[in-house]
Chain A
């Protein structure tokens, strides 16, 4: 039984056997037996800015697009951010945090999370899927909430490298779509003070050693993905706020090596003002960077939606890029 069959079977084990054309909330915690049981809480107590937040636990929804055997779950109401740990059979010392996308209103964690983690597990990479808080769910300083979680997650993984058999100097951060905005944010603002230290872990660097934004939301200016922008910045964002959260404007000399991948026919997050603009900023700053813009692939292809298409090449292109930097080896 392959991974996808297993996932589909897992879903079937807890759900009535039927196809969900649209996102449908699942009763309970939405877990399936194949989900990892090892998790890491990001914050020891209430997350920053969480006083007064009263989310009724998290909500998992599912849909089964006709083209996919893969179950396609998403999560919102993320009151307790965490990492799901995916350990490989033969760890090679490299690690990757993975932030799924969903327009900062939810996180599609099968297609852009667990499926990705398992794929790179097979290459020996230890993966940590980040369930980050969503900015529009009542937190104070909403715009910094995803980055607070991402920074703290990087620090936790790096501080506990020995426990996970990984090299603290070979930790990447991959993100998809809005999660790609988070990947670009932590690549450029890894040391921005977006929360007060809670313990010794917060002295550890949050800089990713390599950055992997996939069809990322980058800009909050012209050409922004409107859902992501409104969720992150609020409905009427001032120019200064737009500037502060447009990642293409914050690339600097210490931004890590970056691999970008997207499709030219992406009509959800347009390539030119987002990934291509970011690549341009990276090169102006002389950052080692690579970009693959596949003619066809649309938005949100993950790995599951690349079968039989030219986009199917991206995980191997990424592996080659990583190996050239001494990662994944």
Chain B
């Protein structure tokens, strides 16, 4: 049985291969050493708009030439978040939102490795597993934001359990997950689902938003798969407008850190991350913009090592501290 087959058996089980021998040793259940096994479902029952939907979780694993596992997941019926606790928690916390063009979601890229990086610095991290908009849900376009808002609220409602300060919760998203995070930054207060319990009285506003090579626009220059999954075929101009984040910056938008590479050929810098920065400048929303010369799309942590763009986590935390995201 090769790794792919092993993984295709599914990760539904919660057992972890906790040998601690190697960061990249994978168990037969698809878990890697260091993976969180603390999974918190978002919704007590069927997620909003999920009546009649039955999906079987699907995993893939692309092993890099250097042996690094790059897993992704789709067919998400049961959204939630994985908790990455810090050995030395400082009260700060971060919702981490991976990308995947809204057709799948990275587990390692933009997910686990990001959570581990920031947890090492004392920040409790929650890696979001959100529903994908093209998998049959009603109100497909709002599905990722429903999950992201609910995650922010659940985390805040259970702050004591996680040992965090609910006033110090931020969010960071990558690629399509950057579209989710940017939507959270701009539309944290927009009602996209009916409250299900007392947790929904909490605010979903991040203290700051990290937007890593984000998908932003659904208009000209849009990332095709993210747009098609979000809006479906032949979207109306109104739908394009409603989900183009650069058109929804307001006085209540969260301060944002925008970071990407100039040579990103997947999500074009100018109509996406840079356009959002320009919109934030116009609305006087605090924003930090870093466009590295090289890095391509999806550099996350692993693909930025030893490169100038590898400076981004320090730039993010130094900037975030100026907005009160500091212990």
Residues of A within 8 A of B (CB): 257, 259, 264, 271-272, 276, 279-280, 283, 288-296, 309-310, 313, 316-317, 320-321, 323-324
Most B C-beta atoms less than 10 A away, residue of A272, A309, A324: A324
The 5 closest A-B CB pairs, nearest first, are A320-B308, A290-B293, A293-B289, A295-B288, A310-B318
Most A C-beta atoms less than 10 A away, residue of B255, B286, B289: B289
Kindly supply a per-residue 1/0 record for chain B positions 141-152, scoring 1 wherever the CB is within 8 Å of any chain A CB and 0 otherwise: 000000000000
Given A264-B288, A283-B269, A310-B319, are A324 and B262 neighbors across the interface (CB < 8 Å)?
no
Most A C-beta atoms less than 10 A away, residue of B281, B307, B311: B281
Chain A: which residue is nearest B286 at the CB level?
A295
- How far is it, in angstroms, between the C-alpha of A226 and the C-alpha of B278 when the chains are bound? 22
CB distance from B60 to the nearest CB of A (A): 32
A292 touches B318 (CB 8 A): no
- How far is it, in angstroms, between the C-alpha of A61 and the C-alpha of B104 when the chains are bound? 62
B319 touches A292 (CB 8 A): no
Given A264-B281, A272-B281, are A291 and B291 neighbors across the interface (CB < 8 Å)?
yes
Partner of A280, one of B270, B292, B318: B270
Partner of B293, one of A264, A271, A316, A321: A321
Q: In the complex, which residues of chain A have a beta carbon less than 8 angstroms from the beta carbon of B274?
A: 276
CB distance from B104 to the nearest CB of A (A): 29
Chain B: which residue is nearest A318 at the CB level?
B308
Kindly supply a per-residue 1/0 record for chain B positions 261-301, scoring 1 wherever the CB is within 8 Å of any chain A CB and 0 otherwise: 01000000110001001100100001111111110000000
B64 within 8 A of A: no
Chain B: which residue is nearest A270 at the CB level?
B281
Chain B: which residue is nearest A259 at the CB level?
B293
- How far is it, in angstroms, between the C-alpha of A291 and the C-alpha of B291 when the chains are bound? 5
Partner of A317, one of B277, B289, B311: B311
Q: In the complex, which residues of chain A have a beta carbon less than 8 angstroms from the beta carbon of B292?
A: 290
Q: In the complex, which residues of chain B have a beta carbon less than 8 angstroms from the beta carbon of A295?
A: 255, 286-288, 319, 322
B308 touches A317 (CB 8 A): yes
Q: In the complex, which residues of chain B have a beta carbon less than 8 angstroms from the beta carbon of A324?
A: 293-294, 307-308
Partner of A279, one of B291, B315, B319: B291
B291 touches A313 (CB 8 A): no
- How far is it, in angstroms, between the C-alpha of A294 and the C-alpha of B277 when the chains are bound? 11
Given A320-B308, A320-B311, are A257 and B293 neighbors across the interface (CB < 8 Å)?
yes
- How far is it, in angstroms, between the C-alpha of A283 and the C-alpha of B271 when the chains are bound? 13
Q: In the complex, which residues of chain B have a beta carbon less than 8 angstroms from the beta carbon of A264?
A: 281, 286-289
- How far is it, in angstroms, between the C-alpha of A290 and the C-alpha of B281 when the chains are bound? 19
- How far is it, in angstroms, between the C-alpha of A301 and the C-alpha of B319 when the chains are bound? 16
- How far is it, in angstroms, between the C-alpha of A187 and the C-alpha of B325 when the chains are bound? 39
B197 within 8 A of A: no
- How far is it, in angstroms, between the C-alpha of A39 and the C-alpha of B176 when the chains are bound? 54
- How far is it, in angstroms, between the C-alpha of A279 and the C-alpha of B294 when the chains are bound? 14
- How far is it, in angstroms, between the C-alpha of A292 and the C-alpha of B292 when the chains are bound? 8
B314 within 8 A of A: yes
List, sorted by A's number, 17 A–B pairs whose CB atoms are closer than 8 Å: A259-B293, A264-B286, A283-B269, A288-B262, A290-B262, A290-B291, A290-B308, A291-B291, A292-B290, A293-B277, A293-B288, A295-B286, A295-B288, A320-B311, A321-B308, A323-B308, A324-B308
Chain B: which residue is nearest A260 at the CB level?
B291
Q: In the complex, which residues of chain B have a beta carbon less than 8 angstroms from the beta carbon of A296?
A: 286, 322
**Interface of chain B residues 61 through 86 with chain A (CB within 8 A):** none
Q: In the complex, which residues of chain A have a beta carbon less than 8 angstroms from the beta carbon of B262?
A: 283, 288-291
- How far is it, in angstroms, between the C-alpha of A320 and the C-alpha of B255 when the chains are bound? 27
Chain A: which residue is nearest B270 at the CB level?
A280
Chain A: which residue is nearest B319 at the CB level?
A310
Partner of A313, one of B269, B281, B314: B314
- How far is it, in angstroms, between the C-alpha of A259 and the C-alpha of B291 when the chains are bound? 10
Q: In the complex, which residues of chain A have a beta carbon less than 8 angstroms from the beta carbon of B291?
A: 279, 290-292
Q: In the complex, which residues of chain A have a beta carbon less than 8 angstroms from the beta carbon of B270?
A: 280, 283
CB distance from A171 to the nearest CB of B (A): 19
**Interface of chain B residues 215 through 274 with chain A (CB within 8 A):** 255, 262, 269-270, 274
Given A272-B278, A295-B288, are A288 and B311 neighbors across the interface (CB < 8 Å)?
no
Chain B: which residue is nearest A271 at the CB level?
B281
Given contacts A276-B278, A293-B287, 10 further A-B contacts (CB under 8 A): A276-B274, A279-B291, A283-B269, A291-B290, A293-B288, A295-B286, A296-B322, A313-B318, A316-B311, A324-B307
Q: In the complex, which residues of chain A have a beta carbon less than 8 angstroms from the beta carbon of B290?
A: 291-293
Q: In the complex, which residues of chain B have a beta carbon less than 8 angstroms from the beta carbon of A317?
A: 308, 311
